[in-house]
Structure 1
């Protein structure tokens, strides 16, 4: 059985020079999801409510992920596990078709709630630090615990479908718009509808996401050498290279002038997103 590795210099044939103890966030658990979010309520800007009321149909456009609110709570019946509650806020752009052939672009908000359960281990240590807080007196930071931290990574969703539904009564309709953070509201140049409209739009989004639980910890890692950058810094003036020389190195865009004989099905996320957004 090999001896326990301690921090310090190491003689190793593979090139490891030193064992170093570092403080970092260790990922205890993670998951990935491919959510097809059907019939997600679309809350238009007030200026587009009348357009939707007169529209014959709507088609998908594009969607942008504005913010994800994340909350972590321990699971009472299973020690070491935590629920991660997420609320996704989207800015969605749709095409509304009236009696005239040209569609009208309408903008609005969609909200999606999601929950996962992940393992985050246990720990009750209280953490204190003398790290400087910018803009405040040079005092210790406030005490905090080493509870797990949830990290959510997501890309802009794909708009898969959109439809209009007439709301006959409150029983046939879903709840009104939830509380929206002020910085999300500020992303829209105008007031959003509260959700009590007679005609309502529902969209279907395709969302890719990764969720993980991290916790502060100390790890012993091998060190090969210091990270010395190999690339030299550019002057940043933009005048060191000949513009025509740069242009001559760009390949001729043949595909822009001659359409392909066959249409290839999308194989990745970006191609699929463009395909769905354009309605092909």
Structure 2
């Protein structure tokens, strides 16, 4: 698709989808309990190229890559965990310290804009090598042919990055509860059942901006 990009005079971004997010988490030595999380986002970008050799537009798909680093508190744990589910041959692989797990939730990205620039004239360089499993979605390795133009996209992204750790919690438990009463059957008349339902006023009058509250019940 590179010759189409080189000949294009304008570009429009159609949509953006998240292919995958690679997560690397490392403890921070000088700040115990804190972890550095490096996120690499891979996006599938759908584009329309205009002004090429043919009349009209050409539809192409490409990959956009974005890196983000966050530092979060994940507490400390000095215990080791062993499990009966692992075989005897895997015993030497057990016994590592219990570390937290980093997770990221990504909402559907928003395609904001796209532009064509001379290759590397915008000050951007590829931030990582595209993994083989992602490159296979586009037919294998990307060509290393000379590039005249490069498409740069602006993407709106909403994410939630968390560190999750298993902890011990004390929850009150009760014995089995055996029912000693029979259920009272209600009327089989559907009209009587319908009359007991409150009228859904909120469905007909959606809340205005600012009426949604803070989500804490106040």
TM-score strictly above 0.5: yes
Partner of residue 129 from structure 1, selected from 67, 83, 87:
83
> Root-mean-square deviation (CA), in Å?
2.7
- Which residue matches 1:206? 156
Does the aligned pair in 2 maintain the 1:57–1:164 contact within 8 Å?
yes
Does the aligned pair in 2 maintain the 1:72–1:84 contact within 8 Å?
yes
Does the aligned pair in 2 maintain the 1:177–1:194 contact within 8 Å?
no
Name the SS of the counterpart of 2:150 in structure 1: strand
- Which residue matches 1:219? 169
Query: Residue 104 in 1 paired to residue 58 in 2?
Result: yes
- Which residue matches 2:106? 154
Q: Deviations over 1:129-179 (max 9, x none)?
A: 11157xxx8865831321111011112311100000123xx6765334622
Question: How do residues 156-195 of structure 1 correspond to structure 2 at under 5 angstroms?
Answer: 156-167=108-119, 173-176=123-126, 178-194=128-144
Higher strand share: 1
Q: Tell me which of the two structures has the higher relative contact order, counting C-alpha pairs closer than 8 angstroms and 6 or more residues apart.
A: 1
Does the aligned pair in 2 maintain the 1:177–1:195 contact within 8 Å?
no
Q: Deviations over 1:217-250 (max 9, x none)?
A: 2212245799xxxxxxxxxxxxxxxxxxxxxxxx
- Give every structure 1 segment of 4 or more consecutive aligned residues whose post-TM-superposition deviation is greater than 3 Å: 137-141, 170-174, 193-196, 222-226
What 5-or-longer segments of structure 1 have no aligned partner? 1-47, 227-266, 268-280
Q: Cα–Cα, structure 1 residues 162 and 130, in superposed 2: closer, same or farther, change >3 Å? A: same
- Which residue matches 1:51? 4
Does the aligned pair in 2 maintain the 1:164–1:200 contact within 8 Å?
yes
Q: Cα–Cα, structure 1 residues 177 and 130, in superposed 2: closer, same or farther, change >3 Å? A: same
Does the aligned pair in 2 maintain the 1:64–1:157 contact within 8 Å?
yes
Name the SS of the counterpart of 1:145 in structure 2: coil
- Which residue matches 1:6? none
Query: Residue 71 in 1 paired to residue 21 in 2?
Result: no
Name the SS of the counterpart of 2:171 in structure 1: strand
Name the SS of the counterpart of 2:36 in structure 1: strand
What 5-or-longer segments of structure 2 have no aligned partner? 177-208, 210-218
Name the SS of the counterpart of 1:77 in structure 2: coil
- Which residue matches 2:71? 117
How far apart are the structure 2 equivalents of 1:225 and 1:107? 59
- Which residue matches 1:37? none
Normalising by the residue count of structure 2, what TM-score does the alignment of the two structures yield?
A: 0.70
How much does 1:90 deviate? 1.0
Q: Cα–Cα, structure 1 residues 204 and 87, in superposed 2: closer, same or farther, change >3 Å? A: same
Does the aligned pair in 1 maintain the 2:66–2:127 contact within 8 Å?
no
